[in-house]
């Protein structure tokens, strides 16, 4: 009986039960969820959980918080498919299940004594929000911090109410959109048109990138041309992940499982293994 209990306890496929404490709409199709876990959690910046609703399935969702309160998990979830639509129908007080954390975390220690550039597109700001909180927590150990963030329209920018506080903490926030709306006075265009807004020693800096693949590719190539070391250009890769633990093979690419060997990779690794 003890052996059976131990096996159940260590089963990597069994989810943890959580309860939704609050839901905050961020955009028309993205909600911010604050979840209280029945068990204490520990996770790193850039890791993800497999989040599920009974009867609907599960999806990989990156964490957008730090584990400062081990029983609290914060997730930003976009409504794009069958499972995420089911999650968006949940209300405060409802149960939500998750297992993890999975994957490699961002190597945030690379930031120490360096300039830092955060580059995000759309929902890609979610895992980088956790990175921003880490950088603020270790602000005295980090040099200049810049956030370059773009979305299709101003109304699709995430965490708009947090920008002012980030700037107060010494982070330069530079925004851009593809299509402006009434009252928009910031930049128009893709994120890679924003380099002239920041004063950075690219050869000694580190970059953390998350967003659409085309944005990631363009950003990494620009940074490489600016002289940033390949090992200091860090990004997350998207993949069709089903299990999160390297068993199903859905995310296998060029000798690597995105769920276990990633989803965080350096540009050096991406070029070596031809992951993009």
Looking at the fold, whether 138 and 95 belong to one and the same domain comes out as no
Q: What is the pLDDT of residue 274?
A: 83
Last residue of a domain, one of 78, 102, 126: 102
Q: What is the mean pLDDT of residues 91-116?
A: 96
Q: What is the mean pLDDT of residues 126-143?
A: 97
State CA 25 to chain mean position distance. Answer: 18
∠ CA 151-159-197, nearest 5°, is 55
Q: What is the mean pLDDT of residues 68-94?
A: 97
∠ CA 107-104-216, nearest 5°, is 75
Looking at the fold, whether 81 and 113 belong to one and the same domain comes out as no
Three-state helix/strand/coil letters over 16-61: EEEEEEEEEECCCCEEEEEEEECCCCCCCCCCEEEEEECCCEEEEE
Mean confidence (pLDDT) of the chain = 93
Looking at the fold, whether 53 and 175 belong to one and the same domain comes out as no
Looking at the fold, whether 36 and 122 belong to one and the same domain comes out as no
Looking at the fold, whether 252 and 203 belong to one and the same domain comes out as yes
Looking at the fold, whether 98 and 175 belong to one and the same domain comes out as no
The tens digit of pLDDT for each residue in 151-172 reads: 999 999 999 999 999 999 999 9
- CATH number, domain of 29, equals 2.40.30.10
Distance between CA atoms of residues 187 and 173, nearest Å: 12
- Reading phi first (left if > 0) and then psi (alpha if -120 to 50, else beta), residue 64 is in alpha
The tens digit of pLDDT for each residue in 220-243 reads: 999 999 999 999 999 998 766 678
Looking at the fold, whether 82 and 8 belong to one and the same domain comes out as yes
- Give the pLDDT band of residue 12 (cuts 50, 70, 90): confident
Side-chain-facing half-sphere of 23: CA atoms under 13 Å: 19
Q: What is the pLDDT of residue 255?
A: 79
Looking at the fold, whether 96 and 121 belong to one and the same domain comes out as no
Looking at the fold, whether 269 and 225 belong to one and the same domain comes out as yes
Last residue of a domain, one of 37, 70, 102: 102
Looking at the fold, whether 7 and 144 belong to one and the same domain comes out as no
Closest CA to 55 of 29, 27, 90, 93: 90
Least confident of 10-14, 90-94, 265-269: 10-14
Q: What is the pLDDT of residue 84?
A: 98
Exposure b/e, 218-253, CB count within 10 A at least 16 = b: bbbebbbeeebbeebbbbbbbbebbbbbbeeeebee
Count how many domains the chain has: 2
Looking at the fold, whether 206 and 246 belong to one and the same domain comes out as yes
- CATH number, domain of 237, equals 3.40.50.80
* pLDDT(196) > 80: yes
| 8 A C-beta contact, residue 207 and residue 228 | yes
Looking at the fold, whether 83 and 152 belong to one and the same domain comes out as no
Is 107 or 5 the better-scoring residue by pLDDT? 107
Q: What is the pLDDT of residue 6?
A: 44
Closest CA to 244 of 101, 145, 117, 105: 101
What's the pTM value of the predicted model, to 2 decimals? Answer: 0.93
Distance between CA atoms of residues 263 and 132, nearest Å: 18
∠ CA 107-72-99, nearest 5°, is 70
| 8 A C-beta contact, residue 33 and residue 84 | no
Q: What is the pLDDT of residue 9?
A: 59
Q: What is the pLDDT of residue 193?
A: 97
Full residue range of the structural domain in which residue 192 is found:
108-273
Strand partners, 171: 145
Last residue of a domain, one of 82, 102, 122: 102
- Give the pLDDT band of residue 39 (cuts 50, 70, 90): very high
Percent of the chain beyond pLDDT 90?
84
Q: What is the pLDDT of residue 239?
A: 66
Q: What is the mean pLDDT of residues 3-13?
A: 57
| 8 A C-beta contact, residue 71 and residue 36 | yes
């Amino acid at each position: 009986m003890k052996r059976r209990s131990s096996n159940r306890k260590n089963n990597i496929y069994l989810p943890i039960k959580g309860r939704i404490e609050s839901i905050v709409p961020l955009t028309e199709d993205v909600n911010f969820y604050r979840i209280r876990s029945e068990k204490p959690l520990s996770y790193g910046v850039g890791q993800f959980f497999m989040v599920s609703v009974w009867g609907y399935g599960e999806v990989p969702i990156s964490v957008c918080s730090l584990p400062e309160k081990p029983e609290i998990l914060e997730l930003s979830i976009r409504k794009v498919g069958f499972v995420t639509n089911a999650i968006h129908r949940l209300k405060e007080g409802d149960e939500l299940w998750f297992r993890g954390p999975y994957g490699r975390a961002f190597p945030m220690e690379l930031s120490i004594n360096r300039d830092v550039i955060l580059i995000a597109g759309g929902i890609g700001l979610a895992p980088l929000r956790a990175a921003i909180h880490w950088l603020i927590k270790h602000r005295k150990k980090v040099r200049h911090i810049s956030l370059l963030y773009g979305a299709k329209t101003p109304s699709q920018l995430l965490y708009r109410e947090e920008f002012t506080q980030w700037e107060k903490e010494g982070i330069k926030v530079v925004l851009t959109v593809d299509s402006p709306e009434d009252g928009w006075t910031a930049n128009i265009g893709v994120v890679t048109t924003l380099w002239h807004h920041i004063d950075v020693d690219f050869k000694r800096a580190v970059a953390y990138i998350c967003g659409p693949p085309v944005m990631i590719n363009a950003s990494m190539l620009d940074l490489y041309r600016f002289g940033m070391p390949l090992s200091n250009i860090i990004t997350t890769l998207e993949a069709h992940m089903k299990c999160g633990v390297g068993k199903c093979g859905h995310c296998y690419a060029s000798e690597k499982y995105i769920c276990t060997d990633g989803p965080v990779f350096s540009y050096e690794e991406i070029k070596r293994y031809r992951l993009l």
